[in-house]
A and B are shown apart, each in its own frame.
Chain A
Amino acid sequence: MTQTITLNVNGQALKAQAEPRTLLVHMLRDELNLTGTQVGCDTSQCGACTVLLDGRAVKSCSVLAVQAEGHKITTIEGLARDGTLHPVQQAFWEKHGLQCGFCTPGFVMTTVELLRDNPDPTEDEIRHALEGNVCRCTGYQNIVAAVRSAASALRGSRRPGAAVSGG
């Protein structure tokens, strides 16, 4: 028994079909072909499935697809604008904040939320904020460096008169 869900994904209004038991992450991956959002565990521990729901970072494995009815979802595919990487993506690239890349979309989405709430986090605050995301490759050090670098870039772009970057 599927239901029709009306929602906005990456700025596009759309309708999707899902069973009541379908998780948001599965709807994104299987129905909407947005495969950048990953599944790395089955206990809401790894954070690879993190997306923004009305601007808040959520683990899309812990949200039912039907709960997204009427909401705005941003996935990793929706961050870059007109071929320009989001400052958080750019910083992860420059600081070598990824290796296999599987956890990366989740880290990037979590970071987007963190830096909106706290534009100049300390290293401890960054490490604490990233506790819900697991990376097995980088040892986190370059991820932390990337978040700091992104914070600095975003603060620069938020100066009066400068364009505000997404997320």
Chain B
Amino acid sequence: MATLFGSGIKRREDPRLLTGRGTYTDDVKLPGMLYAAFVRSPFAHARVRSVETKRAKKVAGVVAVYTGQDTKDRVNPVPCAWNVPNCDLRTPPHPLLAYEKVRYVGDAVAMVVAESRAAARDGVDLVDVDYEPLDAVVNPEKATGKEAPQLHADVPGNVAFTWKVSGGDPAKTFAEAAVKVELRLLQPRLQPTALEPRAAVATWNDAMGQLTLWVTSQNPHIHRFLCSVMLKVPEHKIRVVAPDVGGGFGSKIPGYADEALVCFAAMDLKRPVKWTEDRSENYKVTIHGRDHVEYVELCGTKDGTITGLRTRVYAGLGAYASTAAPGIPTILHGLMYSGPYTIPNIEGTVYGVYTTTTPVDAYRGAGRPEATYLIERLVEVYARKIKMDPVVVRRKNLIPKDKFPYTVATGITYDSGDYQGALDKALGMLDYKAFRAEQAKARKQGRYLGVGVTTYCEICGLGPSQVAGAVGFGGGLYDSAVVRVYPTGVVRVYIGGKPHGQGEETTFAQIVADEFGIPIENIEIVAGDTEATPQGWGTYGSRTTAVGGPAVKLAADRVKEKAKKLAAHLLEASEADLEWKDGKFVVRGSPDQAKTFGDLALMANVAWNMPPGVEPGLEASAFYDPSNFVFPFGTHICTVEVDVETGRVKILRYIAVDDCGPQINPMLVEGQVHGGVVQGLGEALQEIAVYDEDGQLLTGTMMDYAVPRASQMPKIETASTVTPSPVNPLGVKGIGETGTIASVPTVVNAVCDALAPLGITHIDKPLTPATVWAAIQQAKGGAR
């Protein structure tokens, strides 16, 4: 029987989404439902002198208005759930509604609940807040300075943590190195922009003491836990449903004050309450990503062997430590400083810094794009300094294929890789030599062509729970599945993850269909409802296929083992004499003596004739905890032409060669790469969250924040190599974030390569025409 694993079948989630029959959170409508809206601070930093709600309460349709004073003793603050150890982490409380101080534009000070969305908005306009403005600070490096305003009483210098990583002997290596290069890199703040804004609908059953919350969540079990903490409701009395979720990119991982407040209102008023943020609210309140100021150095020999890497990073956290924030610029960033290279000596210091801005948390790639960017920029500058081809330098330092598993200087162990293989494939697709010749010819004509190469690997498939505990992550990182077989031989699979576009309703069904030899139409994958699904840890960190996939496989294996026992019993044969063939257990040598999966499903569920000691029913659960992370890798290459008159960058070709091990559905893998690359191209070329000195977000709408459009983006040429991971039984690695991780330095390297004749070694992203033009002018001026 042909297997479905490896087949690019059409997605099973699509018919509902294509016909408008999906259910996103804002589509949920309950009888008697009220609407919430929030009064949000227009100041980045201010004392709240008073909040006057009298006028708002008089608005027709307004049912209630809550202030921080009303709620502070009835709810707990938003918790930070990644308490990274050994870094003196300070996470001051983030009250659901501010009552003493506001610390960013958008910090909520009051909630209005009304009979209609419009009435709630009318009420918001009439809440009078008396603010005493304080100084703002938006740059994480400046925020550590002596003159900077202090956000939190118990966080001197606004430093939330000082985290260090080291391996080898970096001090000695740098002191003795023949070649050193250094850069100051900005990794600006980004606005995740999941197309579906966040939303919450809560209903409270007072008699049962039971709360149900529909919410835009990548991880409903984590939301159940966080709501339990904030609302003081026991976890078993909370049901969280994440229905269809319209993109996340990390922004729907954290617990948020507004979502919990919607629950609070539903509990207090004993009526369902809905809230949906609008886009400008989303840009002010939903987490941002990146925000690093980095001082980085690399050293090596004159002939291209990299010997050391050092960093000092100021990572902006925004006003409060969001749910996973401390882990992003540390565990998911600093531990990846070796990249795909054998760098024996590494030292990094990361300062997590509070600023009067929107909290920063995981955004697609989360820490690894920042690491890959600084490594790949340094390698490029180093190659130029020693006058070697950057590809040659990379090849010389890549971890050889026969050295895996390989432990890098930061202490983590990469599972498997063939980095040279991916590099060769990508170079072949471009014909690198031919492009260099074309570039040389173009330069003579006064045209600026460039090629950028990134060889990368990344850490994902988060991850072993023991490691999660050791690095302070406030949860496990296993995942789970329940495979339930119905009497008629059809199957439902309940998973702990919550896909929101990645397609596991299809890929997980492919795994199960192969396992049971049944049509894929007979399988449904169920995710997102804590009432139905086993404890899981959600969809982020490219973990659902790599951790949840094996859980599905293991649970299906267990079902099949039990089915085999039953088959042996019914066929009066020993289990050893049975073989699985074309969806049946067959007695070896007697092809007529067989039981199909359907036969066994029926007989197990009616239990008329079970083997002695075997329970009725046919279902199994599995909790799969991986022994390590997985490390996908690859090579991306981009060629560009830069118009030096206008600063405009034109991408000529974009080539992505990625290795995520065996691909369950190659069409979906390719889709993840396309989307990831374009998100990275946005970061490299046009996206940036801008605050003014007073802490006002200037990119607060989609008119100002430059999300990539179809007309701005190139065609992406994709290919893959296949190196299985030894970590899990499917051999699979994550592919959701690689595109974003690899593409940013690829483009910046290409532009800097194009402008090398002008003496330009680095331009901070995003490489908008204005930025590139200014760098060109500066370089020309400097040359005069």
Residues of A in contact with B (beta carbons under 8 Å apart) = 19, 21, 26, 29-30, 33-43, 45-46, 48, 75-77, 79-80, 85, 89, 92-94, 96, 98-105, 108, 123-124, 126-128, 130-131, 133-144
Contacts and interface: CB of A to CB of B under 8 A. Distances in A.
Contacts of A26: 117
B279 interface: yes
Contact of A77 (B19, B278, B670): B19
B10 A94 contact: yes
A19 B196 CA distance: 25
B195 A103 contact: yes
A42 B590 CA distance: 68
B277 to A, nearest CB: 10
A92 B709 CA distance: 18
Nearest to B500: A100
Nearest to B249: A136
Contact of B195 (A48, A127, A139): A48
A90 B703 CA distance: 32
Given A36-B19, A42-B701, A105-B20, A135 B671 contact: no
B501 interface: yes
B292 interface: no
B27 A135 contact: no
Nearest to B709: A131
A93 B19 contact: no
A76 B501 contact: no
Given A130-B711, A137-B195, A140-B710, 6 more contacts: A35-B20, A35-B26, A40-B196, A75-B20, A98-B14, A141-B713
B606 to A, nearest CB: 34
Interface residues of B, number: 58
B702 A77 contact: no
Contacts of B203: none
Contacts of A43: 279-280, 701-703
Contacts of B11: 93, 96, 98
Contact of A102 (B247, B670, B707): B247
Given A45-B703, A93-B10, A141 B716 contact: yes
Contacts of B20: 34-37, 75-77, 105
A46 B14 contact: no
A77 to B, nearest CB: 5
Given A19-B118, A40-B279, A42-B280, A137 B247 contact: yes
Contact of B671 (A29, A33, A99): A99
Interface stretch (B39-47, B155-163, B673-681): B673-681
B667 interface: yes
B702 A45 contact: yes
A40 B20 CA distance: 15
B702 A96 contact: no
A72 to B, nearest CB: 18
A126 B711 CA distance: 8
A137 B501 CA distance: 8
Contacts of A128: 710-711
A104 B279 CA distance: 18
Contacts of A35: 20, 23-24, 26-27
13 contacts: A19-B118, A39-B197, A45-B703, A76-B18, A92-B14, A93-B10, A93-B11, A93-B14, A100-B500, A124-B711, A134-B193, A137-B675, A139-B708
A134 B702 contact: yes
Interface string B19-45: 111111011010000000000000000
Contact of B19 (A39, A80, A139, A141): A80
B17 interface: yes
